[in-house]
Amino acid sequence: MAKKAAPKKKAVKKSTAKKSTGKNSSPKKSAKKSAQKKWSKKVTQTSDAMDLEKNVFKQKDPKKIAASVKRSAEKSTRKKAGPFQSAMSMINFYENRGGKNISSGQKKVLDKSKKELRKSFGKKEK
């Protein structure tokens, strides 16, 4: 019997272009990042979870910030969690979403206001 000739393999041309490994290499990632920014901006502008005083987080006195946020949390009927958790979440949200726009001094004030908030609700320190 005669042997059949093996089919020839096609040559696969390898691409010489290098794949980009940068963080913003694909348009999907950058679109997602801008969508996240829009999300936090929308929450900040349209959220009605609590009615906060205007510029409450820009104050320099941690006790005033804690007292104001506590008042708002206790007064609000639209929150999903308890007053303490809602108040702490608002401070954390502002601090996290502020990012580079919040000075290190103001971040320290916000951290102190969280401690004051814990005291005012009778919670233990971390």
Torsion of the alpha carbons at 92, 97, 101 and 106, rounded to the nearest 10: 0
18-42 pLDDT tens trace = 555 555 555 555 566 555 566 666 7
Helices 62-75 and 104-120 pack at an angle, to 10 degrees, of: 50
The domain segmentation of the chain, as residue ranges, is: 55-121
40-66 pLDDT tens trace = 667 666 666 677 888 888 889 999 999
> 81, 59, 67, 77: which is closest to 118 by C-alpha?
67
> pTM higher than 0.85 for the full model?
no
